[in-house]
Amino acid sequence: MSEIENKTEHGSMDGATAGTAEDPKNDTGLGLGVIFFIVAFLICFLSGWLLFPKLLYSKHEQPFNFDHVLHVEETGDCESCHYLRDDGTFSGIPKLASCLDCHTDEPMGETVDEAVFAAEYVAKEKEIPWYVYARQPDCVYFSHAAHTEAAGMDCKTCHGPIDETRTSRPYEENRLTGYSRDIWGKNIWGIKKNPWDSMKMDDCAKCHVQETGHKGYCFQCHK
Amino acid sequence: MIHDKKAHKYGMVIDLDKCTGCGTCAVSCMSENNVPFKEDESDKKDSITWMRVYRLTNGRPFPDTEVVYMPRPCQHCGGKGDHGHSPCVSVCPATATDYGYDTGIVSQIYTRCFGCRYCMAACPYHARYFNWWDPVWPEGMEKYLSPNVSPRMRGVVEKCSFCYHRYQLAREKAYVNGSGEVPEEDYQTACTTACPAGAIVFGDLNNPSHKVHQIVKPDPHPDPLNPDVVGKSRNPRVFRLLERLGTNPKVYYMSEREWVRKMGDHYLDGEWDKVKNVYGSASHE
Amino acid sequence: MFPFIFEWVWDIGHVLFFGGFWYAIGILGAGMTYCIVKSAIDAMNDTGDNHH
Amino acid sequence: MKVDRRSFLGLGIGAVAGIAVSPVGAKLTDDFSIWTQNWPWTPVPPDGEISYDRSVCNLCPGTCGITVRKIDGRPVKIEGLDTYPVNDGGVCLHGIAGLQYLYDPSRVKTPLKKVNQRFVPISWDEALAMVTGRLKQLQEDQNPEALACITGSGQGSVPGLFNHFMAAFGSPNCLTMPDLESWLVLTATTLHGPKQTLGFDIDHSDHILSFGAGLIDGWGSPVACIQAVAGRKQREATLVQIEPRLSNTAAGADRWIPINPGTEADLAMGMCGFLLKENLFDPVFAQGFKGGFMRFTAMVQKEYPLDKVAAVTGVSAADIQKTATAFAKAKMPVALPGKGRGEGAQSLKEFAAVHTLNCLTGNINKKGGAFVKPLPDYLSFPDPVLDDVAQKGAAAEPLAASAQALVARIDQSDQSPVEVLFVYNANPCFALNDPSRVAAAFEKIPFKVCVSPFMDETAMASDVILPVSTFLEQMEDVPSRGGLAASVVGLARPMVKPVFDTRSPGDVVIAVAGSLGGGVAQSFPWKNYEDCLKQVAGKIWNPLTRKGHVIVSGRPPAGSVETDFGFLAENPDTLKPAGDQEFTLIPIDNFRVPPTVPAPSPFAIKTVSDRILKGTDMFVEINPQSANHLKDGGFATLTTPAGSVRVRVHFNDGIMPGVIGMVKGLGHTLNNRYVSGKGVNINALISPTIEPGSGMDAAYGIRAGISKA
Amino acid sequence: MMDAALIPEGAKRCSFPKFMLGIAIVGAVLLWGVYAMLLCWFKGLNQTNMNDYYGFALWIWADLAVIALGGGAFFTGLLKYIFKVDELKNIINFAVIIGFICYSSALLILAIDIGQPLRGWFIFWHANVHSMLTEVAFCLSCYFAVLTIEFIPNILENRQLNKVPFFHHLAHNMHGTMAVFAATGAFLSFFHQGSLGGVAGVMYGRPFAVREGLLIWPWSFFLFTWSAAAFGPCFTLLVTRITEAVTGKKLVKDNVIHLLAKISGWMIVTYMIAKLIDTWYWAYYTAPGLGFELSHFYTNNGFYGYWILVAEIIVCGVIPGLLLINKSTRENPNFRLIAIILAVIGVSLNRWVMVLQIMAVPVMPFDTWALYIPSWQEVATTILPVAYGIILIAFAYRYLPVFPQELELNQPKVQES
């Protein structure tokens, strides 16, 4: 066997037994390992639970605050603003025009938001760039008529008690997917307590199986 | 699977004697379904045309030559025995295409497809197209894109959907009207409504009141000569493409001319003369 | 692939296919775990030997 | 204590374990999957309220009613308009592709002027100032007739405004491109007197004898014709198609009679002779015959005996008899002139001869026959105010009878008689025969103004381009034309705000007139085009705006019809294709390729067969029997007296041996990469021949040679 | 030499620079392939000459071919560990390495061949169990895991690694349990080799491909498994032969070679009988039943003529089979070499037909034959695995005790000196 090989042989022998060479009974190495383990575990575990969601979503404030309670009091129900058109399609977030059915460029209330609305949008005839909490991606086709008319569901079942909100919460956008946080749901594990807590395909399927006995075919919800 | 009696079976019948080969169906389809276009579309093997118009000739020399045009959308095959195992659906590894048992329409989901192209290999009609390039519209032209059909990205397969979005819209209309049932005239594909010659008739093959049913008279029973074949037409002038394969297309063709009907499938020597008179005779009325 | 995936149905096809799949994965997993654990133990032992 | 390998091991394992029991894995997996399904560069069309708006398509003489589907006011789809009297819900691929023209890469986005062979953007004011400056110059030089104008079609208020302007300015040189309507007007004028045109009641006729009219290849009002042909089966009508090639019309016809190209007129004359000899004509209607009917009868029987005609046309005498007899015996026969689309180079003799067959059967102004109807007169322009300069000019002799003749005139003279040229809604530098000669003539004209939405061949040859809106961006009256039985006027309405800095052509003319001052300005007393239209179309304005269309002449027209045989009795010669080579090259009108303006849309080009266009190579059709050494799909050199090009060969059993067919309308050079540089412009291979009787170009085909390249 | 410490004890290897030079040359080819691969990933599949008629092309053929050729690994493993054919221990390591190369290549090519590579995992996640391709994907990746497991001990036997006690024991223990892995491998291979045949066989819209079968499995399913088992070993033998030629050493004893050749020979012969029956039944019953005559599937254009049928079945099927079952020809090095080369060509040809000819044959009566010439990007990415294979084999041979009989067969002559 050659010189070099000889050396390397010993060298690596040392290496091979380094961990235990000095004193197999002294387990400080192991102890330290355990401590390191616990520390690392806690750091990663906690950041995974607490830090990660913060990093994943970017917050956007709505153009101005919208008081649903007030408007529901004034108009009576959701449908007066979020209505089905005659052709069965859903109007979604109202256009400025339908706001102007009641509003003018004269602020109606004292609130700052009212002023912003009148000055920035009504006066300038600009559509309000609302962030839509419940926006689904382009590949999704959703028929409000099928649910509210045919299945007789109410808005709340999927959208929650929005009518009871006095302020517009910030819109949280997933930095990776660009989706609204409402789709996956507030709970980072996707655990839901209320039917409106998340709006993913599985949520649709779950209800469809219960109600129709079938998840539905691709084209039922995709385009 | 939803197997209720009320299930629709949407299909079409194309009168090849009326078809002028003008290509309006193809363009109407492209414009309706956000089909892209590129600088050179003359290589028809990578040109996306959900509705393609083939030119058929009888192969006879001058002056006995005859020509007929055959528009070919996705055939929305019911598969062997019409059980819904279409050649393409059964092979898709990622469930990106499925058979709607409620409509008989074969779907294609672009966001799910990862572009293995097995479905294209399996389709004998070349009705499936691959996006070899990312679609690009000249500056500003993307303004005419319709929101009812999502534009595709590079690397996925697309095909005719029988304008399913029109069915979705018709359904919504039906819901607010309270009827819930979609009337024949409310769900028509873009090619059907566009055809200036009125050569295309579209509707529910299961619904005796629909024109397509009355023309095709589909035979509910399997063809005694070939149990895989179901829904054979009892109209002697009506035929399907490659019917013998048992793919059970929902697109029927119609022609007075024998050579055209013979063009629809392969026949060994002498077989045609046996078969041609059998058209419709398999019916059990 | 898992019962909680959208496409999953409890039909004969899925049971057979994924039954076979998870069975194979199981064997491979178990086999490797066994080897690794046993080797680790063996390694401990003979390093121990070195010192007696 | 010593940090050793195990510590790091612990660190690693701890980290992994920590992440594993946190939601990171599950969530990121899901988000990653979503991320790979929504690429930011894939457009997401905005959703909104669906609405439908109605208008009229003005892309071709078809004038179909259309409905435009909009999403929150954004047009996304064009479809046929149900119950519109022309097309009743039908539509063609070019109409549907209309939205592509709206955003076409070759749109002219702002006024342009040519500065040493390159175009530079200028303001509207500057552009109009340039134009009026030039015109004022002509007036000062007392030379208003040096202004010429070429428009696409003669009908409607916008061409009307151009005519009105020319009249007021004092120039007789206002010409239109040769479309089917212009040939029909010429024919009607020749046979039945001025201010009339012809219509054909195809969808009621029980026997249609078509002399090459491509009823389903784009002839006349394409959709209306396709519908009429499609309805044929139900009403058991016969369609007999006479042409050298198995066109789609011939393929769909009950009978196809191949004929030597360019001999249709002789065949028609032969049939006339036969019908007269056999007394197979309508004596009652014949009472309206005057102006040399006897001379005509004698002439056709002498000059066009069946055997001679058979020899010339290649149609057997028996066939001619059979066809003529069937035609004469039919209840409601109609004979159709106009090869292919019926536009471009045709022949007055042929039109007249074919229409004479209609006259002989007497099925004129009757259901299912030919209609001799007055030109639509729903427009009433005020009489132009002429100062003496204008009067002098107006009295001058017109330079030419047709655009092609004008080109020849300029070409021959070393100093162009035309100093300023307006071109509106026409592309002579592409659509006329021998376009290189047209371009040369343009070079000689000192100042050319192109009023066009697109940077087409003619625009590129101009000095100033005034960009106008497309039919989807402006209001305009759209009168039906091209052989329809009924005369319908539709109203095109703006479906969308102009996409670029464009104006309505009517406004352009009015603006120019206004800034010229004097009599011209007085002749244009309107604020703007809309105001003008409201007044000149006053008769029908209310119903027009209410219903979107008006049927100005019902069917069939009343009153007796007189027929003058003077022109035919002289037996003008049939122009044979020029040259002496082995083959005859004829243009093929393909439905999917528009022949003139506008150029094909990307969608239209996409539908073109790979046996017409492959890459940038053009195919020509030839019968394998006469292809001798050529190979199917192989390259060849096609040579005519006008030029020579490299093409590929497509064997087609459906074309007469000895004939070469080439699709018309390809080979554009405008700046739209989806359309340009594809194939060859057949017009470049055909040199014009002016027909004496009509003063129009009648060179439909030309002799050609083809050899392996 | 500088890397002597890594070289198996007592084994003679070429000088390190010479070795690296060789690696560099092959490495260049590898990089070319990698460049093409990146082009396909970043610019998309428009880099290929595939089209809507030729959705499956050169790559899919390469996949099917390498997997068939890699079949030597599972079959040899099956014989060695299950049927206890002990001589094969002298070639099993190499068979495993070849298998490892083939399967890793197959997976790589599949990853290039899909339009949206980042969604590739949908095939597992959203699996459609009715698709043969799903079965392929699952079994393929599982069996690749098995091959890795089978390869590991051999790696751990590297002189230095083996000195680490844990690795030493791991190698030992894995050898001990190898039978279990081999059995699983055989099970998986049976299915994925088969489902590759199934991929074509289930396409009932393609009369050239479609086959009747047993339950959900078309006959082509079983034929593919069988042919992989039959021809795979020939590839193992071929590569061994090449390695011997390159290294100028005898590495495996003849009796082992002969044994494997014999087994392979009999497998081939039996397979060919089955294949002939299948072809005959398809040509005389299946296709005509759909209105097709055999002549419809073969043209006179150079690519898809009858010659391909003859070449696949007779020249590269029956002939090598007979050569290998016949003792005298089998044990004659030259005949044996001819036989295994023909066999390797034969199975590749079969996969070629089952991919490219299927795509080329017109199905609609008015359709035409499709022709396809791969782009350089496709060729480069297909050559990539070859380069990668050569490099891996080179390293394995240099640093691992791949051939147990090497030292014994290449003893320095003692009587001299």
Are A12 and E165 within 8 A, CB to CB? Answer: no
What residues in chain A have their Cβ under 8 A from chain D's Cβ atoms? 18-19, 28-49, 52, 56, 85, 87, 89, 91-92, 137-139, 174, 176-179, 184, 188-190
- Could you please report the per-residue DSSP string of A74-111? HH-SSTTTS-B-TTS-B--SPPHHHHTTT--SS-SSSS
Query: Cα(first)–Cα(last) distance of chain C, in Å?
Result: 51
C-beta separation of B38 from B134 below 8 A: no
* Confidence class for position C48, pLDDT limits 50, 70, 90: low
- A41: nearest CB among D4, D18, D47: D18
Nearest-CA distance from A19 to chain C in Å? 11
Interface contact flag, E138 C21, Cβ < 8 Å: yes
Query: What number of other Cβ atoms are within 10 A of residue B95's Cβ?
Result: 23
Of the candidates C13, C31, C36, which has its C-beta nearest E130's C-beta?
C13
Considering only CA atoms, which of C10, C2, C34, C19 is closest in space to residue E187? C19
Q: Residue D706: is its pLDDT beyond 70?
A: yes
Percentage of chain E lying above the pLDDT 90 cut: 82
- Identify the residue among E53, E131, E354 best suited for mutation to test binding to B, counting B beta carbons within 10 A and taking the highest: E131
Classify B227 as helix, strand or coil.
coil
Restricting to B residues 173-202, those with a Cβ less than 8 Å away from any Cβ of E are none
A148 belongs to a structural domain: yes
Neighbours of chain E (3+ CB pairs under 8 A): A, B, C, D
Q: Read off the tokens for E286.
A: 């299946």
State residue E398's pLDDT score.
Answer: 93
Closest Cβ opposite residue C47 in set A17, A201, A202: A17
Residues A58-62, mean pLDDT to the nearest whole number: 95
Residue with tokens 């600009």: A126
pLDDT score at A24: 45
Query: Pick from A18, A42, A60: which residue ends a domain?
Result: A60
Helix (H, G, I), strand (E, B) or coil at D420: strand
- CB atoms B175 and A146 under 8 Å: yes
Q: Which pLDDT score is estimated for E342?
A: 96
pLDDT of residue B16: 97
Tell me what the pLDDT averaged over chain D comes to.
94
pLDDT above 60 (res E189): yes
Domain boundaries defined on chain C: 9-44
Q: Residue E340: its pLDDT value, please?
A: 95
Q: For D34-63, how does the pLDDT look when each residue is reduced to its tens digit (9 = 90+)?
A: 999 999 999 999 999 999 999 999 999 999
pLDDT for E2 beyond 70: yes
- pLDDT tens, residue by residue, A93-142: 999 999 998 888 788 888 899 999 999 999 999 999 999 999 999 999 99
Domains and CATH numbers, chain D: 5-36 (no CATH), 112-179+378-553 (3.40.50.740), 202-368 (3.40.228.10), 583-708 (2.40.40.20)
pLDDT at B171: 94
Residues in CB range of B12: below 8 A, 6 or more apart: B73, B162, B189, B192, B200, B201, B202, B203, B212, B250, B251, B252
**Which of E118, E125, E156, E163 should we substitute to test contact with A (largest number of A Cβ atoms within 10 Å)?**
E163
A56 shares its domain with A136: no
**Farthest-apart Cα atoms in chain E, separation:** 80
Instruction: Reply yes or no on whether the pLDDT at D288 is more than 70.
Output: yes
A24 CB within 8 Å of a chain C CB: yes
Q: Which domain holds residue A172?
A: 132-221
Q: Which residues of chain A have a CB within 8 Å of the CB of C51?
A: 24
Q: By C-alpha distance, which of A88, A89, A217, A207 is closest to B179?
A: A88
Residue B225: pLDDT band by 50, 70, 90 thresholds?
A: confident
Span E222-238, average pLDDT: 94
Sort A216 into a burial class: Cβ within 10 Å, 0-12 / 13-18 / 19+: middle
Q: Which chains touch B (3 or more CB pairs under 8 A)?
A: A, D, E
Q: What is the per-residue pLDDT for A109?
A: 80
Contact C1 E172 (CB under 8 A): no
Per the listing, tokens 């003005």 go with: D58
Say what percent of chain E tops pLDDT 70. Answer: 98
Nearest residue of chain C to residue A14 (CA atoms): C47
Q: How far is B176 from chain E (nearest CA, A)?
A: 35
Question: CB pairs below 8 Å between A and D: how many?
Answer: 117
- The verdict on D36 touching E (C-beta cutoff 8 Å) is yes
Chain centroid offset of residue A140 CA: 16
Whether D and C touch, i.e. at least 3 CB pairs below 8 A, reads as no
Over range D382-398, report the average pLDDT.
93
Token pair 């500057």 in the structure block, residue: D126
| DSSP output for D554-588 | -SS--S---EE-HHHHT-PPPPPPBS--SEEEEEE
Q: Could you give the CA distance from residue B93 to residue B121 in angstroms, rounded to a whole number?
A: 13
Q: Is residue A83 part of a domain?
A: no
**Beta-carbon contacts below 8 Å between B and D:** 189
Searching chain A, which residue's CA lies closest to the CA of residue B107?
A219
Res B144 pLDDT > 70: yes
Amino acid D2: pLDDT: 63
CB pairs under 8 A between B and E: 160
Residue range E377-405: mean pLDDT, rounded: 94
Q: Is A112 within a domain? A: no
Determine, yes or no, domain membership for A33.
yes
> Cβ distance D333 to D281 under 8 Å?
no
Residue D28 has pLDDT above 60, yes or no: yes
Mean pLDDT to the nearest integer, D5-25: 85
Q: What is the pLDDT of residue A11?
A: 38
Q: Which residue of A has its CA nearest to E162?
A: A16
* Residue A157 placed within a domain: yes
Considering the domain boundaries, does residue A85 fall inside one?
no
Q: What would the two tokens of residue B16 be?
A: 């090849």
Distance from CA of D25 to the nearest CA of E (A): 15
Confidence label for A9 from pLDDT (cuts 50, 70 and 90)? very low
- Answering whether pTM is above 0.95, one says no
Two tokens at A96?
Answer: 């400025």
Say whether D36 and E125 touch across the interface (CB within 8 A).
Answer: no
Sorting pLDDT into bands at 50, 70 and 90, what band is A3?
very low
Strand D464-467 and strand D447-452: pairing?
parallel
Q: Is the pLDDT of residue E84 over 60?
A: yes
Is E43 part of the contact surface with chain D (CB cutoff 8 Å)?
Answer: no
Q: What is the pLDDT of residues A179-217, one digit of tens each?
A: 999 999 988 888 889 999 999 999 999 999 999 999 999
Residues of chain D above pLDDT 90, percent: 88
Number of domains in chain A: 2
Please tell me what DSSP assigns to residue B236: T
Statement: residue A33 has pLDDT above 60? yes
Final residue of a domain: which of A60, A82, A111? A60
Is the minimum CB–CB distance between B7 and chain A shorter than 8 Å?
no
CB D117 within 8 A of CB D443: no
Note the pLDDT of residue D555. Answer: 73
List the Cα angle B205/B207/B213 in 5-degree steps.
Answer: 45
Contacts of B98 (CB under 8 A, 6+ apart): A217, A218, B89, B106, B107
Contact D151, D162 (CB under 8 A): yes
pLDDT at position E215 is 85
Query: Which of B153, B175, B179 should be substituted to probe chain A, the one whose Cβ sees the most A Cβ atoms within 10 Å?
Result: B175
pLDDT at B270: 87
For residue A153, the distance in angstroms to the closest alpha carbon of chain B comes to: 13
Long-range contacts of the stretch B52-58 (C-beta < 8 A, 24+) = B52/B26, B52/B126, B53/B19, B53/B21, B53/B23, B53/B25, B53/B26, B53/D607, B54/E364, B54/E366, B55/B21, B55/D609, B55/D611, B56/B260, B56/B263, B56/E366, B57/D653, B57/D654, B58/B259
For the domain spanning B10-284, the CATH number is: 3.30.70.20
Asked whether residue E378 carries a pLDDT value surpassing 80, the answer given is yes
Question: Tens digits of per-residue pLDDT, D461-503?
Answer: 999 999 999 999 999 999 998 899 999 999 999 999 999 999 9
CA distance to D182, D185, D362, D377, per residue, from D374 (Å) = 14, 10, 19, 8
Question: What CA–CA distances, in Å, run from E310 to E284, E315, E318?
Answer: 17, 7, 10
CA distances from B259 to B56, B66, B272 (A): 10, 10, 10
Could B27 and D97 be called an inter-chain contact, meaning their C-beta atoms sit closer than 8 Å?
yes
> Does the pLDDT at position B200 exceed 90?
yes
Peptide bond connecting A53 to the previous residue in cis, omega within 30 degrees of 0: no
